Amino acid sequence: MNLLVLDIGGSSIKIAVMDEKHTIITRDKVKTPMDGMDALFTCLDDIWKRYGSQVEGLAISMPGVIDSAHGFAYTGGALRYLENRPFAKELSERYHIPVWIGNDAKCAAIAEVGYGALQGVEDAIVIILGTGIGGCLIKDGKVYNGKHFSSGEVSSLHMNVHHPIGETYNWWRISGILGLREIAQRYLETDEELSGEAFFQLVNEGNEKAIAALKEYATSLAVALFNIQAIYDGEVIAIGGGISAQPKLIEEVKAAFTQIAKNEPVYVPEIVPCAFRNDANLIGAYYQYQNMKLSDE
C-alpha cells in the first residue's frame, strides 16, 4: 500500500509517496502558504491532484500541539491558522481517505523507534536541534503525549532564574541554531553568520576557539538534558537535526553530561545521534499511520 506523506513546515511542505517498506518512491517540495486556510487547502488540493490516485491514505507531520488520536490541532506553531481545527477530519472528508496527523518532533522521534536508533528501546528522550528544539518522550516504545498533548515542548524550557519571562533565555534561544551561532561568533570574535557546516569545519580542523565554543554549546545542551533525565530516567537520549551528524557534537554532549552527573543519583543514559535527519518527520508520520491502521483492524 502506497501512502502520501506530507511534512508541513514553516517554510515548505515536503511531499513523499512511500511504499510498504517506508521507501520514498516519489519526492517533491512546495512552499508553505502563510496567508490562511484557504491558501493551504488550495495547495493541498494541487498536491492531491498530482499524487492522490497513487495512494490509499494520507499521513501528515506538522508543527503544534496535536491530538493525533482524534486528528485535532490545538495549535499550529508558526502556522497560526491551523489552531483549533479537526484537521484530519477535514482532509478525510475532502479527499475520501484515512488521514493521520501528528506533531513534527514526535514524528521524528517515532521514526527512530520504528526503524532507527531506538528500535527495542522502551523509554527514551529525543530532541531535534533546529531553529527551535523539538522534543519527545518515548514511554514503553510509544510517544508519550501528556494529558494535554504538549509533552516534549522543550523549546519552552526556561534556563535563567533571573530572567524567567520572555524568550531570550528559553532553551530554543540558547541551544537552538541561533544560540550556537551566537556562541561561535563570540568565541571567534566575528559578526559573520557562520553556517553549521562552516562552524564544524573549523572544529574538525582543530580551531581552538571553535572547539571552546562547541564545549560551551554542548554544556548548555547537557544541562537541560540532565534535568529532563533526572525527572524521566530514560534508557537512551537520541539527538536529531542536521548537526547531530557531527560526531564531535555527540562526543562533547556525552562528556558534559557525564561530568554534570558525577556523584548525582541520576542514571547516565546512552546518548546517540538519530539515524534519520531530513526525512525523519516523513518516516515517523508513515510509521504512525501504519500503527493507526493496524489498531483499527
Average pLDDT over the chain reads: 93
Confidence of residue 1 (pLDDT cuts 50, 70, 90): confident
The mean-pLDDT minimum among 155-169, 172-186, 245-259 falls in 155-169
Q: What is the pLDDT of residue 189?
A: 95
Would you state the cell numbers that stand for residue 122, as one nine-digit string? 522502551
Based on the domain organization, do 172 and 74 belong to the same domain? Answer: no
Separation between Cα atoms, residue 173 and residue 182, nearest integer Å = 10
Q: Does some domain include residue 84? A: yes
Q: Does some domain include residue 110? A: no
Q: What is the pLDDT of residue 46?
A: 98
Q: What is the pLDDT of residue 296?
A: 58
Amino acid identity, position 245:
A
Based on the domain organization, do 288 and 212 belong to the same domain? Answer: no
Based on the domain organization, do 95 and 144 belong to the same domain? Answer: no
Based on the domain organization, do 19 and 51 belong to the same domain? Answer: yes
Based on the domain organization, do 133 and 254 belong to the same domain? Answer: yes
CATH number assigned to the domain comprising residue 137:
3.30.420.40
SS3 of 185, please?
Answer: helix
pTM: 0.87
Based on the domain organization, do 9 and 121 belong to the same domain? Answer: no
Per-residue pLDDT tens for 60-75?
999 999 999 999 999 9
Angle between helix axes 247-261 and 196-204 (nearest 10 degrees) is: 80
- In the block, which residue shows the cell 519526492? 27
Per-residue pLDDT tens for 67-116?
999 999 999 888 999 999 999 999 999 999 999 999 999 999 999 999 99
Q: What is the pLDDT of residue 180?
A: 95
SS3 of 83, please?
Answer: coil
Based on the domain organization, do 89 and 198 belong to the same domain? Answer: no
- For 50, half-sphere exposure in the C-beta direction (CA atoms, 13 angstrom radius) is 15
Find which of 159-163, 263-267, 276-280 is predicted with most confidence, using mean pLDDT. 263-267
For residue 62, which of 89, 43, 42, 83 has the smallest C-alpha distance? 83
Based on the domain organization, do 94 and 166 belong to the same domain? Answer: no
* Domain boundaries, position 11: 3-104+280-296
